[in-house]
Amino acid sequence: MEIKIGIKHAPREVSIETDETAEQIESLVREAFTGDGLLALLDTKGRKVLIPIAGIAYLDLGSEHVRPVGFGAV
C-alpha cells in the first residue's frame, strides 16, 4: 500500500510503500496523537520512517490492492 504524507511548509509530499493495512496505519496515527507525537512507519524494505505528528498536513492512504498491469492472464 502506498501512503502519501503532506508535510506542513514543505513543497513536496513524502511517499512510503508499506505492507500495513489502512486500519493499521490509522491506528498508528491515533496512537501518535495521544502518545509522544511521533508517527513511526515501516516501509516494505524494512526502513523505519519517523514523522512528528505536528508537522503532518494530510495522509493519503492508497489502495491496498495492486491492479495488474499488462496483457497477461490473471
Question: Does the residue 67 lie in any domain?
Answer: no
Question: Does the residue 16 lie in any domain?
Answer: yes
Range of the domain at 37: 2-61
pLDDT on residue 69: 67
Question: Does the residue 51 lie in any domain?
Answer: yes
pLDDT on residue 49: 92
Question: Does the residue 7 lie in any domain?
Answer: yes
User: Could you tell me the CA-to-CA distances from 4 to 21, 37, 45, 49 in Å, in that order?
Assistant: 14, 19, 17, 13
Q: What is the pTM of this model?
A: 0.75
Question: Does the residue 73 lie in any domain?
Answer: no
Average pLDDT for consecutive 10-residue bins of the chain (74 residues)? 92 92 92 92 93 93 68 62
Question: Does the residue 37 lie in any domain?
Answer: yes
Q: How many domains does the chain have?
A: 1
